[in-house]
């Protein structure tokens, strides 16, 4: 369990979020120090929570109680720069591996946040960031003396630059987030967002990747031990084994059950608009619950030059999920079979610690970008998306990325994994995926622009009851 103390930045000094309590009340409210003093900002917070006007109920609900009471250590002025901090508080509350804590001495991490979060979950810039940091100077010094890792989270762009300049010698790690998914990923929060209005927190533009590349997700190990202080040059990994798996599979010591060759290019045609006059290459076996419609081949198939291999990370025989996650045991890599060109065989949660994706752009170096659309459930981002998979540079050879999965979940983890490749940068195309829901139709449009695209569907079943 990771304990986080959250501070909302104001020009009068940082205000700590002491607790958040569900209430059967007509509206949500913000109160000072557990008193009956309701702050004027309460009306705006209530609008931030409610479905329709706000995002909290949509992203983290439904809730049994209609409203929330937030207790803070001091006044918060009217305005909206508190939104990012309170969004992260709700995300912490929704994440079973994290908790909000008041006691600074017992906190594993301190979060200092300022920024607005709009209906589409974009993190937008606010005023007076440098002044807010100056007003927090004494506390930054106090936290540094205690050896507490501090994450300063602002909107990417000018706010981030201002914060970096003001905190150059403070020891605090500064992060700029373009959207709420990226802000949550900085803290290792995979519980949000669940909305399709924002890119999944597994995918970011090259700018956000540069930001997240500075982070380390400090994981609390069994017994309460904490990794060392926040480092700015890398992300913390789920375990050293997974870190090695992504960065150097050959030397990691991880067991490969058997070679997992990627399927030949000519056997995996690009997915394009269904053509009803052409039959499917072969009948599919009984479809898993999450199976999509059968996607037919185009009238004139265009052979793709992208090959994708998806593998399970599973405990070795005689070991357990917990041994892999917390005990340093190396997982076994097991390739997942495909039902057809789109759907993969379901995986069982009890034997699936995580997933690994291997993407081969073909013989010629090209720009590669990946996008994961989560239909249900959640995952843990264990390593940053490689720059090589963010569409901003040409890459040769196989590129790898891995994620971890919660040990227990009432929901299946069902997702679509999309890979696009081209001879030109793909950052703008990747941004457009924020508003795309029909990837099959998008494939035809991209094909017309000489951009290759493949889609893979897979599901990890819910925990057995």
Distance CA 107, CA 91 (A): 17
Has residue 47 been placed in a domain? Answer: yes
Has residue 390 been placed in a domain? Answer: yes
Residue with tokens 């599973």: 314
Sheet holding 390-395, edge to edge: 390-395, 366-376, 413-422, 452-460
Q: Specify whether 71 is located in the same domain as 18.
A: yes
pLDDT for residue 23: 92
Has residue 241 been placed in a domain? Answer: no
Q: Specify whether 290 is located in the same domain as 189.
A: no
Beta bridge partners of 395: 366
Has residue 148 been placed in a domain? Answer: yes
> What's the CATH number where 112 sits?
3.30.230
Q: Closest by alpha carbon to 400, among 451, 360, 459?
A: 360
To the question of pTM greater than 0.75 for the whole model, the response is no
Q: Specify whether 192 is located in the same domain as 270.
A: no
Has residue 243 been placed in a domain? Answer: no
DSSP 211: H
Q: Specify whether 102 is located in the same domain as 182.
A: yes
Helical spans, DSSP H, in 271-405 = 321-326
Give how many domains the chain has, as a whole number: 2
Q: What burial letters (b/e) apply to 85-124, b meaning 16+ CB within 10 Å?
A: bbbbbbbbbbbeebebbeeeeebbbbbbbbbbbeeebbbb
Q: Specify whether 78 is located in the same domain as 201.
A: yes
Q: Specify whether 356 is located in the same domain as 445.
A: yes
Distance CA 435, CA 430 (A): 10
Spell out the residues 6+ positions from residue 156 whose beta carbon is closer than 8 angstroms to its own.
123, 176, 177, 178, 207, 208, 211
Residue 2, judged by CB atoms within 10 A of its CB (0-12, 13-18, 19+), counts as buried
Q: Specify whether 347 is located in the same domain as 439.
A: yes
Q: Specify whether 199 is located in the same domain as 281.
A: no
Which domain range does residue 289 map to?
249-460
- Note the Cα 30 to chain centre separation in Å: 28
Q: Specify whether 380 is located in the same domain as 265.
A: yes
Q: Specify whether 150 is located in the same domain as 258.
A: no
pLDDT for residue 383: 57
Give pLDDT tens digits along the chain (465 positions). 789 999 999 999 999 999 999 998 999 999 999 999 999 999 999 999 998 889 999 888 888 887 999 999 999 977 899 999 999 999 998 887 889 999 999 999 999 999 999 988 999 999 999 999 999 999 999 999 999 999 999 999 999 999 999 998 888 999 999 988 888 888 877 544 555 444 333 333 333 333 333 333 323 222 333 323 333 333 333 344 444 444 444 444 444 444 444 444 444 444 444 444 444 444 445 444 443 333 443 444 444 468 899 999 998 888 877 777 666 678 899 999 888 888 899 999 888 988 999 998 877 888 998 988 888 988 876 556 778 888 888 888 888 888 888 888 889 999 999 898 888 888 887 777 656 656 666 666 676 678 888 889 999 999 886
């Amino acid at each position: 369990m990771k304990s986080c103390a959250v501070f909302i930045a104001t020009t009068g000094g940082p205000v700590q979020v002491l607790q958040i309590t569900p209430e059967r009340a007509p509206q949500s409210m913000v109160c000072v120090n557990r008193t009956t003093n309701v702050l004027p900002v309460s009306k705006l917070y209530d609008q931030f929570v409610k479905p329709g006007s706000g995002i909290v109920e949509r992203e983290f609900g439904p809730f049994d109680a209609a409203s929330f009471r937030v207790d803070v250590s001091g006044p918060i002025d009217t305005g909206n720069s508190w939104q990012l901090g309170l969004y992260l508080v709700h995300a912490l509350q929704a994440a079973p591996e994290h908790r909000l804590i008041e006691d600074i001495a017992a906190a594993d991490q301190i979060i200092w946040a300022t920024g607005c979060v709009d209906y589409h979950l974009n993190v937008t810039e606010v005023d007076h960031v440098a002044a807010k940091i100056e007003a927090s100077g004494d506390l930054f010094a106090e936290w540094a003396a205690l050896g507490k890792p501090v994450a300063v989270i602002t909107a990417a762009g000018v706010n981030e630059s201002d914060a970096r300049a003001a905190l150059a010698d403070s020891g605090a790690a500064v992060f700029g987030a373009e959207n709420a998914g990226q802000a949550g990923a900085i803290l290792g929060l995979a519980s949000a967002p669940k909305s399709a209005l924002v890119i999944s927190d597994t995918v970011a533009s090259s700018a956000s990747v540069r930001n997240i590349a500075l982070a380390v997700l400090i994981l609390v190990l069994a017994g309460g031990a904490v990794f060392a202080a926040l480092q700015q040059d890398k992300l913390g990994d789920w375990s050293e084994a997974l870190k090695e798996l992504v960065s150097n599979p050959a030397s990691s010591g991880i067991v490969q059950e058997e070679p997992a060759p990627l399927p030949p290019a000519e056997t995996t045609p690009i997915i394009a608009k269904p053509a009803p006059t052409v039959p499917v290459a072969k009948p599919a076996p009984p479809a898993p619950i999450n199976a999509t419609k059968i996607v037919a081949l185009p009238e004139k198939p265009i052979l793709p030059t992208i090959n994708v291999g998806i593998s399970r990370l599973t405990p070795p025989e005689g070991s357990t999920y917990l041994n892999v996650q917390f005990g340093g045991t190396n997982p076994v890599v097991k390739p997942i079979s495909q039902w057809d060109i789109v759907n993969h065989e379901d995986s069982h949660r009890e034997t699936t610690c995580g997933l690994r994706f291997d993407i081969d752009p073909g013989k010629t170096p090209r720009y590669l970008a990946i996008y994961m659309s989560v239909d249900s459930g959640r995952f843990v981002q264990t390593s940053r998306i490689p720059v090589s998979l963010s569409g901003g540079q040409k890459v040769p050879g196989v590129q790898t990325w891995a994620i971890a999965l919660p040990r227990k979940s009432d929901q299946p983890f069902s997702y679509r994994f999309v890979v696009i490749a081209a001879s030109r940068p793909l950052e703008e195309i990747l941004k457009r995926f924020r508003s795309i829901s029909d990837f099959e139709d998008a494939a035809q449009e991209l094909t017309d622009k000489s951009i290759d695209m493949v889609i893979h569907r897979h599901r990890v079943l819910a925990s057995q009851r």
